[in-house]
Each structure stands twice: as C-alpha cells, then as structure tokens.
Amino acid sequence: MKKILFLFPILAFVSCYNAEHNCKDFKTGKFKFEFEVNGVKKTTFFERKDSIEIETFDGKTDTATIRWVSDCEYVLQKKHPKNMAEEKAISMKILTTAKDSYTFEFGMVGSEEKQRGKVFKVE
C-alpha cells in the first residue's frame, strides 16, 4: 500500500505533461516559420493544402508535394528541384501542438541529423 501511495504523486505529475497532438489541425492552412541564419532572422511563409505545400522565402515561391506517413509525420519533396540538394526529400515530424502553433523536427530522409523549429498558423 505504501508503494501505491508513493507512486500516485509521480504518476499524477507525469500525466500533467502529456504533449498535445492535434496534428490534423495543421494539415491545411497558412503558416509562418522564423529561423536564424548567421545571426539574421529569416521568415518563410507557406500554405499547405493536405498534399501540396507552396512556400515563399526571400521573394521566391516554390512548390512541394506532401506524403503523409501518419497524422503527425510527412515527407516533403520539391516539385521542381534546382539542384541536387533540393532533390532530397525532407522528413517532418510534428512533436507538439498548441492552439495556433506546433513544434516540429525535420531532416533529410535517411539522415540521423535533425533540427527543431516552431511554426505559427497565420490563417
């Protein structure tokens, strides 16, 4: 009985920190992703329509296809790659969601190197 009473507060504490996963809320919409390159803040805007993503960065627009692996994971592939690096698919995984944003992890398919970021829904 003492063991059960000891474990209860620990279980209650852990259950309060379950990450929210409402990934379906982010399959479509308009989004903003801010990141830093050499100390300079950059912003990418993109619109996702389930299986297509149209991105605008530094005045240039590009389109990619999306293959959903699960509600929270997808693979992004540029439709018109301009070089070898752009031909590589990018694996995206939504880790947590909030009302108007999500935290995600991304990297080249097949690579162990991953980065994280946060996307905000603007519409």
pLDDT in tens, 1-57: 444 444 444 444 444 455 667 899 999 999 999 998 899 999 999 999 989 999 999
pLDDT of amino acid 85 = 85
pLDDT in tens, 64-84: 999 999 999 999 999 999 898
pTM of the model: 0.79
DSSP one-letter string for 103-123: EEEEEETT-S--EEEEEEE--
Architecture of domain 19-121: Beta Barrel (2.40)
**Exposed/middle/buried for residue 21 (C-beta within 10 Å: 0-12, 13-18, 19+):** middle
Select from 52, 41, 36, 40 the least CA-distant residue to 115. Answer: 36
